[in-house]
Structure 1
Amino acid sequence: MSKKTPSDLQFSHFGLYVRDLPRMAAFYKQALRFTQTDAGDLGTVQLVFLSRDPAEHHQLVLATGRPEALPFNVVNQISFRVPDIATLRRFHDRLLAHGASDMHPVTHGNAVSIYCRDPEGNRLELFMDTPWYCEQPLREPIDIAQPDEAILAQAEAIAKRFPKFMSRAEWQAEVARRMQEDQRGD
């Protein structure tokens, strides 16, 4: 399947206000292996630019200025795709070793994910797509220590319980068709 989107609008990067810039930069560099591409001041705001893709100057920017007493974090989650369960397991262990908290391995049927919180409480999701589609939202716990085959079998069994279960390829073709229809009005 082509990675091209039917739209001229593509997501590029995300920025977070942080309280402790050195701690947060270290977490993302050590736990998730981002590379710092730049850093500096913009007026009174200090910035750190991070990327895992040499084609992107930054995929994540951290900026000073997050208030100490925020009653609510408006960022629901920041999600990262990984290629397989072995990589998901490896990052699970790295995240825990570098200060992530509130760790939850789950399946959505169409993905296997781990959710956790970074050192300032922002929710992260690392996920691996499965070959299936099923209606969302769906979230059921899994044991990430199980063999890959057992995790995938559990994810498939959960996905198959839903009436719109289909292959990811079928779902992608349907969504591509709908997106083309939505773009016709431009």
Structure 2
Amino acid sequence: MGFFVNDMAKMEDFYTRALEFTVTDRGQLSAANGPMQIVFLSRDPAEHHQIVLMNGRPDEIAFNVINQISLKADSLATLKEMHRRLVAEGMPGIAPVTHGNSLSIYVPDPEGNRLELYFELPWYVSQPLREPVDLTLSDEAILAQAEAHARSLTGFKPRHEWRAEMARRMGLA
């Protein structure tokens, strides 16, 4: 995904320092309104860019048109480390939640874009669902509480069953 920013240096610093993205490229493009600075960021060596920052965001907009930027964590340990880092950064509005089928952290970036950092759980439950979760607990306690809660909800099933159902519905099975 790519989005326009006001303060390139502040946004680049946040994404590289707090969320550990790496700058893979940077440069300038000619555009109708003049030159545009662009920074490519990734956390995956197989992906040239996962996020693109480009200057040119208007100073005054009625509301932020980005609903959320969702970034998948590879493990609960990674999600918990990101939570620790965001708390240490003093980021406002950090909200760890369970969606029943994932554990997420919602937090605004420095320009108010809502980020969702999430770890997928091995089951599915009907959506939408959003309940607070304590990411300071042990991994075992978090997963046990999340599973017990999910099993009590409508639509609970193993994720592989849900994926197979979606493949059938999409004509891919």
Q: TM-score, normalised by structure 2?
A: 0.91
Mark the runs of 5 or more structure 2 residues left unpaired by the alignment.
none
Which of 86, 89, 97 aligns to 2:88? It is 97
What's the secondary structure of 1:121's corresponding residue?
coil
Residue type at the aligned position of 2:23: Q
How far 1:151 sits from its partner (Å)?
A: 1.2
Residue deviations 1:146-182 (CA, integer Å, cap 9, x gap): 111221122112222223211111111111111226x
Deviation string 1:9-35 (CA, Å, 9 cap, x unpaired) is xxxxx0010000011011111111111
Q: Per-residue deviation at 1:99?
A: 5.3
Aligned-partner Cα distance in 2 for 1:98–1:68 = 24
- The answer as to whether partners of 1:29 and 1:36 remain within 8 angstroms in 2 is yes
Say whether the 8 Å CA contact 1:101–1:119 is kept in structure 2: no
CA RMSD of aligned residues (A): 1.6
Provide structure 1 residue ranges, at least 5 long, that are not aligned to the other structure: 1-13
Q: Is 1:68 paired with 2:59?
A: yes
1:14-163 matches, within 5 Å, as 14-43=1-30, 44-98=35-89, 100-163=91-154
Per the normalisation by structure 1, the TM-score is 0.85
Moved over 6 A (4+): none
Task: Give the conservation status (yes or no) of the 8 Å contact 1:47–1:63.
Answer: yes
Identity %: 57
1:96 deviation in Å? 3.1
